[in-house]
């Protein structure tokens, strides 16, 4: 049994219709950076590195530009908004001065 050529029965009008972007279906979204490629497949993020797979136990250092690109990619295609910037929890902290008292064996004088 030979494989059928998908274009064999396609007419010129079929071909022109297939070229229209509104008729395209994007199955997977991809992000390519110099250090890795990210693929979003059915809600799963998969990172592909040029040197091969990286096991979860191995840490991988990425450039800031890679992280920014990945954040934009996830925001655009997966609807995952970036986390808000961390704020300093002690930014408006005003210490209260407490007077020191001498104690003997835990009792106030």
pLDDT, tens digit, 9 for 90 and up, residues 10-38: 788 887 887 787 777 655 678 888 788 88
List the domain range (segments joined by +) for residue 34.
12-77
Within a domain: 2: no
Within a domain: 26: yes
pLDDT averaged over every residue in the chain: 75
Count of domains observed in the chain: 1
Q: Average pLDDT for residues 70-86, to the nearest whole number? A: 80
Of 39, 38, 34, nearest in space to 65 by CA: 34
Q: How far apart are the first and last CA of the chain?
A: 102
Per-residue pLDDT band for 103 (boundaries 50, 70, 90) equals low
pLDDT surpassing 70 at residue 72: yes
Within a domain: 29: yes
Within a domain: 69: yes
Q: Per the structure block, which two tokens stand in for 10?
A: 């396609």
Q: Which of 28-37, 55-64, 68-77, 91-100 has the lowest mean pLDDT?
A: 55-64
Within a domain: 102: no
pLDDT higher for 1 or 70? 70
User: How confident is the model at residue 1, as a pLDDT?
Assistant: 44
Within a domain: 38: yes
Task: For residue 62, count other CB atoms closer than 10 A to its CB.
Answer: 14
User: How confident is the model at residue 11, as a pLDDT?
Assistant: 85
Apex CA 69: angle with CA 34 and CA 38, to 5°?
Answer: 65
């Amino acid at each position: 049994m030979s494989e059928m050529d998908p274009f064999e029965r396609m007419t010129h009008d079929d071909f022109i219709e297939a070229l229209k972007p509104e008729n395209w279906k994007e199955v997977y979204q991809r992000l390519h950076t110099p250090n890795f490629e990210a693929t979003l497949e059915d809600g799963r993020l998969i990172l592909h590195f040029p040197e091969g797979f990286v096991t979860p136990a191995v840490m991988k250092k990425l450039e800031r530009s890679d992280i920014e690109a990945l954040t934009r990619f996830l925001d655009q295609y997966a609807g995952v908004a970036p986390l808000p910037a961390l704020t300093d929890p002690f930014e408006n902290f005003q210490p209260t001065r407490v007077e020191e008292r001498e104690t003997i064996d835990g009792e106030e004088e």
